[in-house]
């Protein structure tokens, strides 16, 4: 086991040294095992990550101190019986060397208190670190977060893009060893999924468009352009579904029962409404929208006119 923490000189940080014994076990796969690791998962909670978390991790990595090899931070979110939803995070200052790691615990506590004022439902669910490997220092940091949360998760993000992508991984720790003897720690991978709110989807779509832009920049589009783009994507999806159905009916593709169930759920979600009622409802909503737009423009014109009269 690791020795008790030693205060770092002239810093309000907790500094701990790597364990001298070999009791702490880390999961550090070789390059040839990384592909198989991505397919591994244990029977545990599913980790659902929002795009804002990944953006915050990348931002903290780009703003890291000179000479720092990686950054760490606290993960915030909610927990239920079957999943862990990561909705927010913040970076925590730390220093690493071969002999010890120093983490600013007071900063982490103050940041968490500030986050609770804004989002009281978000709790500490674990911590993240940039890079792919889990080191001896990761074991020590994980022990600290084990005191802040019950069975915390450890998230790794390869911000250096060694394999061309970020390689997001999530782990939980479990003790292993002989009772009464040296106890080690084993990190087992969890299933990671990506979810988003509707507002986050707008930002993700905008970032996706910058990939094909020559100057890597892209401005916001108008509301009408967004509606047209969404309609075009829906049309492409429908064409893909129709092509699959035709291939199944002709015998070119073997039918998949799971796809059929998804299509049945999609059809059941479409409300049963006649074409005439749908047209009336659409026209009514368009008229309401036009009225609101007209009133807002009228109010803006009155405010501008009032400013001119006050100047006179």
Tens digits of residue pLDDT in 13-71 = 444 444 433 333 333 333 333 333 334 445 678 999 999 999 999 999 988 888 788 89
| CA–CA gap between residue 250 and residue 100 (Å, rounded) | 66
Residue 277 belongs to a domain: no
pLDDT at 6: 39
Q: Contact, 26 vs 135, CB < 8 A?
A: yes
> Which domain does 244 fall in, by range?
228-270
Please check whether residues 247 and 110 belong to one and the same domain.
no
- What pLDDT, on the 0 to 100 scale, is given for residue 3? 43
Task: Determine the Cα–Cα distance for residues 4 and 243; give it in Å rounded to an integer.
Answer: 64
Residues 259 and 301 in one domain: no
Print the SS3 string covering 90-145: EEECEEECCCCEEECHHHHHHHHHHHHHHCCCCEEEEEEEECCCCCHHHHHHHHHH
- Do 83 and 190 belong to one domain? yes
Q: Do 151 and 172 touch, CB atoms closer than 8 A?
A: yes
Residues 100 and 242 grouped into a single domain:
no
Q: State residue 14's pLDDT score.
A: 43
Residue 99 domain-assigned (yes or no): yes
Q: What pLDDT score does 199 carry?
A: 80
Is residue 245, in this structure, part of any structural domain at all?
A: yes
* Same-domain check for residues 51 and 193: yes
Rounded mean pLDDT, 61-89 = 88
Q: Looking at the predicted structure, is the pLDDT value of residue 219 above 90?
A: no
Percent of the chain surpassing pLDDT 90: 26
Residues 102, 158, single domain; the answer is: yes
Question: Full-prediction pTM beyond 0.85?
Answer: no
219, part of any domain: no
In a domain, 28, yes or no: no
DSSP-H helix ranges across the chain: 34-37, 51-62, 105-118, 136-148, 198-210, 223-250, 257-269, 275-311
User: Does one domain contain both 96 and 236?
Assistant: no
One domain, residues 151 and 81: yes
Place of tokens 């060694």: 162
Q: Which of 149, 183, 198 is the last residue of a domain?
A: 198
Q: Is residue 20 part of a domain?
A: no
- Residues 136 and 143 sit within 8 Å (Cβ to Cβ): no
Torsion of CA 92, 96, 99, 101, to 10 degrees: 0
Alpha-carbon gap, residue 55 to 57, rounded angstroms: 5
Q: Does 158 lie in the same domain as 61?
A: yes
257/296 same-domain check:
no
How many structural domains are present in the chain? 3
> 261 and 307 share a domain?
no
User: In the predicted model, what is the mean pLDDT of the chain?
Assistant: 80
Kindly report which listed range (122-126, 223-227, 272-276) carries the lowest average pLDDT score: 223-227
CATH number at residue 135: 3.40.140.10
Four-CA torsion 228, 231, 232, 237, nearest 10 degrees: 160
DSSP per-residue codes, 274-299? -HHHHHHHHHHHHHHHHHHHHHHHHH
- Distance, in Å, from the CA atom of 124 to the CA atom of 121, rounded to the nearest integer, reads 10
Side-chain-side CA neighbours of residue 19 (13 Å): 19
85 and 130 belong to one structural domain: yes
Alpha carbon distances (Å) from 119 to 76, 78, 116:
10, 11, 5
Q: Is residue 95 part of a domain?
A: yes
Please say whether the beta carbons of 74 and 124 come within 8 A. Answer: yes
Is 19 among the domain residues?
no
How do beta strands 123-130 and 72-79 pair? antiparallel
């Amino acid at each position: 086991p690791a020795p008790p923490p030693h205060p770092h000189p002239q810093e309000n940080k907790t500094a701990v040294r790597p364990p001298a014994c070999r009791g702490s076990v880390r999961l550090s796969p070789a390059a040839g095992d990384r592909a198989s690791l991505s397919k591994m998962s244990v029977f545990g909670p599913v980790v659902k990550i929002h795009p804002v978390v990944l953006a915050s991790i990348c931002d903290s990595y780009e703003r890291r101190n000179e000479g720092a090899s990686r950054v760490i931070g606290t993960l915030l979110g909610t927990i239920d019986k079957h999943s862990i939803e990561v909705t927010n995070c913040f970076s925590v200052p730390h220093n690493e060397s071969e002999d010890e790691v120093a983490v600013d615990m007071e900063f982490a506590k103050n940041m968490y208190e500030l986050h609770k004022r804004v989002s009281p439902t978000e709790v500490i669910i674990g911590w993240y670190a940039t890079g792919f490997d889990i080191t001896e220092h990761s074991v020590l940091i994980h022990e600290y977060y084990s005191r802040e949360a019950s069975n915390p998760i450890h998230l790794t993000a390869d911000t250096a893009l060694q394999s061309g992508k970020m390689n997001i991984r999530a782990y939980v720790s479990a003790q292993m060893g002989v009772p009464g003897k040296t106890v080690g720690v084993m990190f087992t991978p969890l299933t990671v999924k990506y979810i988003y709110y509707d507002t986050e989807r707008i930002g993700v779509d905008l970032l996706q468009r910058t990939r094909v832009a020559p100057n890597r920049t892209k401005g916001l589009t108008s509301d009408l352009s967004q509606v047209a783009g969404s309609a075009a994507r829906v049309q492409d999806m429908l064409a893909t579904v129709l092509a699959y159905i035709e291939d199944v009916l002709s015998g070119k593709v073997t039918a998949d029962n799971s796809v059929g169930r998804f299509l049945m759920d999609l059809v059941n979600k479409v409300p049963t409404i006649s074409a005439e009622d749908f047209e009336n409802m659409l026209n009514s909503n368009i008229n309401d929208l036009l009225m609101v737009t007209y009133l807002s423009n009228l109010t803006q014109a009155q405010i501008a006119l009032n400013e001119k009269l006050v100047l006179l």
